[in-house]
Amino acid sequence: MIKSMTGFGKGEAKSKTGVFTVEIRTVNHRYFDLSSKIPNGLMLLEDRIKDLLRKDIKRGKVNLFLSHRSPGNDAKLVTFDKRTIDKYYKILAEIKKRLDIKEDIKLSHVLSFADVIVHDEKSFDVDTMWASIKEAVAMATSDCNKMREREGKVLYKDFFARIAKISGYIDVVSELAPSVVAEYKCKLDSRIKDIVKNKTIDEARLETELALFAKQCDISEEITRFKSHLAGFRKALETGEEAGRKLDFILQELNREINTLGAKANDIKISRVVINVKSELEKMREQAQNVE
């Protein structure tokens, strides 16, 4: 069964080192493209996470968010630098005096300096934490893929409904095709005879030319190829493998054949059917953009 490239998943794993939460959001993209937001101390694990994701997500734009919550109280990790505060306050006081500024020095002035508040970096033992992170990533990926599979089932049903509709249109074209050739040949025959009414013509040569012209408007080959590509599209949907690129290619071929068919037929009835087919193919092309 095909999968959509749109999904969301969340996973959480607990251990002695804390709680790891992973969120994954995916959207359509031509290739696998990972954008991750990971705590600085865990950036060394980015390649491992990427390799893990690629096993189950073959194509799409993947946004991953990893957060870590320590088992203890993290409030002590944030403090202020007393010496730095004293230094900045002294500088501000000197500036105030030199410029004869009447305004009082406020807390907001001191806090405007980035290095006043100190955030102590957590120290991570990445190898110890990897097992928990791996578990959280696997849970989030599985959750995301379930959503992608549900979306894939909806796309699958939609594709087959449109394939059935297009097949019906092509059957109509197949029924109209013989009469188009016969009518074209009859009109051409009548027109040529009117032109050369008072002249002697080579009947054998005329028949040959009429046969050549009739062949030019014969669309039987285009109908056969179109049906073959449509069968290939149906088969690609049923394989359950990564089908997005293949579906896109087949749709290009279907569009090429229907355009050629419409141009060669040069018939108003067939042209109307061709417009309906092209409308359905365009909707399928939009849907195929979101297939993995």
Task: List pLDDT tens digits, range 179-214.
Answer: 776 776 676 667 666 666 656 666 666 666 666 666
Q: What is the pTM of this model?
A: 0.70
- Specify the range with the lowest mean pLDDT, choosing from 11-25, 108-122, 140-154, 178-192: 178-192
Residue 2 placed within a domain: no
Together in a domain, 199 and 281: yes
Is 103 buried (19+), middle (13-18) or exposed (0-12) by CB count in 10 A? exposed
Alpha-carbon gap, residue 46 to 44, rounded angstroms: 6
Per-residue pLDDT, averaged over 218-229, amounts to 91
Q: How many domains does the chain have?
A: 3
Per-residue pLDDT, averaged over 79-93, amounts to 87
The CB density around residue 149, as the number of other CB atoms within 10 Å, is 15
Identify the band that residue 96 occupies on the pLDDT scale cut at 50, 70 and 90: confident
Per-residue pLDDT, averaged over 277-282, amounts to 96
Together in a domain, 275 and 229: yes
Residue 112 placed within a domain: yes
Together in a domain, 68 and 89: no
Domain around 179 = 150-288
Write the CATH number for 141. 3.30.230
Together in a domain, 234 and 277: yes
Together in a domain, 90 and 102: yes
Please name which of 17, 11, 15 lies closest in space to residue 122, comparing C-alpha atoms.
17
Is 123 buried (19+), middle (13-18) or exposed (0-12) by CB count in 10 A? exposed
- pLDDT score, position 220: 85
